[in-house]
Chains A and B, each alone.
Chain A
Amino acid sequence: MVSTACMWTNQTDNDLLPSRPNLSAPAILGINFGQSYASIAVIDKEGHPTCIANEEGERQIACAISYAGEQVYIGNGAIPHLVKNGKNTIMGFRNLLGHTYDEVDHTAILTAPLLSTSTTPAYTVDILIPPPKQATPASRSAAASGTATPAPQEPIPSTKTLTVPEVTSLFLSTLLQSATDFLGVKPKACVVSAPTWFTPAQTDALRKSAEDAGISVLQVLDEAAAVLVGYREGNAGEEENRDKRVVVLDMGETSLGVSVIQASEGEYTVLAKGRDDKLGGREFDNLLLKHFAKEFTKKTKVALDLPCGESASVIDKRAEAKLRIAVEHTKRSLSASSGAATCAVESLKEGMDLSSAINRLRFDGLASSVYRQVGAKLTSVVQSAGLDLVQIDEILLAGASTLFPGLQQHLSLLVAPTTPVTAAIDPSQVIAVGCALQALHLSTLQDGLKAEDVLATAKTTVDTTSAPIGIVIPGQEGDNLAAVVVDSGAPLPVRRRVAIPVSSASKVVLELWEGKHEVKVEKVERAPIEKDEEDEDDEDDEEEEDEEIKTPITVKTKALGAVEVSVSKEGNLLLEVIVQRGGGLQVRAWEEGKEESADKFEV
């Protein structure tokens, strides 16, 4: 009885999909399973991860299931049913995974109600069961002439109870089907994303549901980790700074997640993380709703106050539902193109049409309060890690809501001017792409390793360096480290090699010091004499004319030792620092090409 919303499009769309199984590319799937939207990515023929569209041509697949009579709509097709058939539409089920009924907040749910009788959260929906096949009479002549013609049988109204894991399985199986249709074969390896704040119980529940859906799950990966893998953080090349502090800012439809990560040569340790489950793309929707409702009232003199509350009239609710769908489209065009985005709804209320447009500037003005909230959340999470915003080396964006250029601009103003705000891979796809890449990494292990063994080595916490270790050149001015070799927060054991050019034959000494990250605050000349310490109020920047320049520095705290090398000619001096698992230190230094005659010390 399950039929997806795309039932009638299957026939035509399948022709567009590659029907021939592609044997050269590994059948690998990455699933970004969000609260509101999901996306899937596979490894294409060239070996690159790509986010693919489902049969409906959607890359962002709504996590919604709607039961309407005999039909079941899964995905974006279920969204319109939210209005007229809300109590049979299931949405927002992911976050309930692994919870009991008592643990979840069941009052705020506007869709299908949760059953209070079951410990596992469960929904009850009204369905129609198709009538049983009518038994055909044995022979025509045998029918008694007196009997009445049997009435055509009606579908029987019934109810269906679905638990949250069942709903999840049902939804994930449609994602698997889309990927299988695209690849031509069933994916053999899959990584599913889970929110940063999921508890182990919730992760296990998600894994179980995915396996019930027939997906071979290699790993349930943290969304922030998926973003890091998706952007290939720390693996880009040798030119790049190997030890970086990055912020992963994931703003989806319903919530905002911020993680501060130490990426030390591609190994990711978590310094801090925070979440705001009220701040999401829905806020932008509401702003646009309000804006267009005002416009509508102004133009047509028909009163419309959106978003409307529970007690609003049916007409208003219908208008909201219509406008919400239109606004979703407007929002996408705003983030995609630089021109004005239109919003047109026929017969929004009382037979009057809405046709309006909004440009980016206007929208950024509307949304500035949301931008500020995002900035404030970012600042607070960074501070909770004991860091300042200038010490952040990069901001990685994820989630469709971060696509707004206004938001990206706002974020880049918060951090140091040299800090990039990266959206190089479409933020709405990066999690799925990261999951696919991680699945690829795990399924192409060398040296006969198995993915389970590799993942088994993962512990919840690992020992890391507690302070940066760097070089001090004897005779140098100041208290700073000349260069940091091993940054703090690097998982042990860690090894770093650096080369230092030497211009002429000489005897050189390098001291190894432990350091401490600090922020140096300098006032620009124009600033009035005003001795305030660390000004954390970012919004005041515009009002105050004075500017302060913050620079991250590393102050030397403790000498660890020194190495001495006599260099015979112009070339490179190589320095290797290894911090062992227990915290022991090994330092070697040698002239390039003369590794055997290295000067070393060990602690």
Chain B
Amino acid sequence: MSKELFDAMRQSIIDGDPELAAELAQKAVELGIDPIEVLNQGFVPGVSYVGEQFGLGEMFLPELVVAGEAMKAAVAVLEPEFTRRGTERQILGRVVIGTIEGDIHEIGKSLVATMLSASGFQVYDMGVDVPIMTFIEKAREVKADIIGISALLTTTMVRQKDVIEALEDNGMRGQVKVMVGGAPVTQSWAKEIGADGYSEDAVGAVVIAKTMMGAA
């Protein structure tokens, strides 16, 4: 019974079907299966398969994204069950992410958020045009391990530095790693402003985040 259910879960991720993934997660909850088992034997193998196939060039970014969305839907159903049982879902880390104040460019940031969340991070997506202090306050509230800051304009990119300075001013720099991204952002810029990580694309961003958490 569980074997069939787990196979269906794995397939729902591979097919990128959030409704089905949520439905299967609900079924597992009703059957009283341990949510840790549900994740590790049902859904995570799906994510791993998609990741492998992507690495082989057999699956592509849109498939990665829908797999991420299906995973998110499953986790949302399982979350209350973890709480009820007094256990916790294993996460790689907590990430606060957003596009910096004055900048409304969303897609790259959202893509990174989806990929991180699919890879086992708890992601708090603050959206676009996010004030510097909102990053700081949210990071403090959720005890974030990583802040991700996106910017598409050279004129807003400069504010990535302000977030890092605000972390320092608030005595939080030691606890929070900072990742930066966006079209005008380069490795040298990341280095100059003292960011801990930079990636040009979403898949690379996951690798960086995992490395930061010692999980790569």
Q: Do A and B truly interact?
A: no
Q: Which residues of A contact B (CB under 8 A)?
A: none
Q: Which residues of B contact A (CB under 8 A)?
A: none
